[in-house]
């Protein structure tokens, strides 16, 4: 331990930097995960409604806001955290990533059909079985999907710390 104390603003500059995101995980009535295809990410083509937290915003509020922006759906809760996600920085992004995956519940076929995608972000929505999703996702993304499905099944929040920017 250092004998010299730094003022808070100087100490803060020595700390690791991170960005945070929050998203909502939905399934259809047959418990098949619902995901959106991103137009901007070939590395992570299938995603859940969500995004980066704005300054002063709390994780649940981010997930709800992003879901409304990306799908047109309004979600009110209850708030149930399924997973905490962590990734180390890498060549593509200079900061660590911290994420919160909330349970958005089950969607009826009508509600899924009523999703209005923001074409600047997503161009398709699908509900597939985990086995079917495996063919469409990189291994790391699929491992995260499995962890979130297990968390929903067991009621035990998942900790997924393999979301690094470099493989």
Residues in the chain with pLDDT < 50? none
Whether residue 2 is contained in a domain is answered as no
pLDDT digits (tens, 9 = 90+) for 147-156: 999 999 999 9
Question: Does the residue 1 lie in any domain?
Answer: no
pLDDT value at residue 2: 59
The confidence score (pLDDT) of residue 1 equals 53
| Helix intervals (H) in the chain | 8-14, 59-71, 109-113, 130-134, 139-154
Terminal CA-CA length for the chain = 34
The predicted pLDDT at position 44 comes to: 87
Asked if residue 6 is part of any domain, the answer here is no
* Residue 27 counted as domain residue: yes
Domain that holds residue 77: 17-160
pLDDT of amino acid 165: 79
- 41-71 pLDDT per residue, tens: 888 899 999 999 999 999 999 999 999 999 9
Q: How many CA atoms lie within 13 A of 63 on its CB side?
A: 23
Position 70 in a domain: yes
11 found inside a domain: no
pLDDT of residue 114: 97
Q: Is the bond preceding 78 in cis, omega lying within 30 degrees of 0?
A: yes
Amino acid 164: pLDDT: 84
On whether residue 10 sits in a domain, the answer given is no
Tally of domains within the chain = 1
| 5, part of any domain | no
How far apart CA 68 and CA 93 sit, in angstroms, is 26
Q: DSSP state, 141?
A: H
CATH code of the domain covering residue 36? 3.90.79.10
Report the pLDDT value the prediction gives residue 161, as an integer from 0 to 100.
93
């Amino acid at each position: 331990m250092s004998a010299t104390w730094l003022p808070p603003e100087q100490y803060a500059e020595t700390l690791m930097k991170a960005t945070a995101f929050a998203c909502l995980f939905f399934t259809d009535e047959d418990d098949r995960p619902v995901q959106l295809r991103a137009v901007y990410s070939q590395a992570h083509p299938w995603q859940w409604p969500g995004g980066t937290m704005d300054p002063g915003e709390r994780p649940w509020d981010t997930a709800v806001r992003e879901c409304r922006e990306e799908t047109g759906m309004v979600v009110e809760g209850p708030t149930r955290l399924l997973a905490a996600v962590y990734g180390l920085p890498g060549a593509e992004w200079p900061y660590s990533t911290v994420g919160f995956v909330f349970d958005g519940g089950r969607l009826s076929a009508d509600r899924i059909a009523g999703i209005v995608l923001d074409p600047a972000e997503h161009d398709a929505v699908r509900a597939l079985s985990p086995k079917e999703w495996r063919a469409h996702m990189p291994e790391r993304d699929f491992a995260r999907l499995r962890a979130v499905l297990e968390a929903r099944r067991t009621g035990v929040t998942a900790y997924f710390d393999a979301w690094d920017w470099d493989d």
